[in-house]
Chain A
Amino acid sequence: DAGVTQSPTHLIKTRGQQVTLRCSPKSGHDTVSWYQQALGQGPQFIFQYYEEEERQRGNFPDRFSGHQFPNYSSELNVNALLLGDSALYLCASSLETGSNEQFFGPGTRLTVL
Chain B
Amino acid sequence: KQEVTQIPAALSVPEGENLVLNCSFTDSAIYNLQWFRQDPGKGLTSLLLIQSSQREQTSGRLNASLDKSSGRSTLYIAASQPGDSATYLCAVRPGANNLFFGTGTRLTVIP
Q: Which residues of the other chain, B, contact A107 by a CB distance below 8 angstroms? A: 42-43
Contact of A42 with B4 at beta-carbon distance under 8 Å, contacts A101-B46, A102-B46, A107-B42 already known: yes
Name which of A4, A104, A105 has the most chain B CB atoms within 10 A of its CB: A104
A55, B97: Cα distance in complex, Å = 9
Determine how close the nearest CB of chain A comes to the CB of B34; give it in whole angstroms.
7
B interface residue count range (under 10 / 10 to 19 / 20 to 34 / 35 or more): 20 to 34
Question: B28 an interface residue at 8 Å Cβ cutoff?
Answer: no
Question: A74 an interface residue at 8 Å Cβ cutoff?
Answer: no
Q: Which of B41, B42, B93, B101 interacts with A43 by CB under 8 Å?
A: B101
Q: Which residues of the other chain, B, contact A78 by a CB distance below 8 angstroms? A: none
Taking a contact as CB atoms under 8 Å apart, the answer to whether B49 and A101 are in contact is: yes
8 A Cβ contacts from A72-100 to B: 88, 90, 92, 99-100
Question: A58 an interface residue at 8 Å Cβ cutoff?
Answer: yes
**Chain B contact residues: helix, strand, loop or mixed:** strand
Contact of A42 with B101 at beta-carbon distance under 8 Å, contacts A88-B41, A99-B51, A101-B34 already known: yes
Question: A33 an interface residue at 8 Å Cβ cutoff?
Answer: yes
Question: B36 an interface residue at 8 Å Cβ cutoff?
Answer: yes
A64, B16: Cα distance in complex, Å = 45
A100, B36: Cα distance in complex, Å = 15
| Binary B-proximity of A34-67 (CB < 8 A = 1, otherwise 0) | 0100001111110010000001101000000000
Q: Which residues of the other chain, A, contact B29 by a CB distance below 8 angstroms? A: none
Q: Which residues of the other chain, B, contact A104 by a CB distance below 8 angstroms? A: 36, 43-46
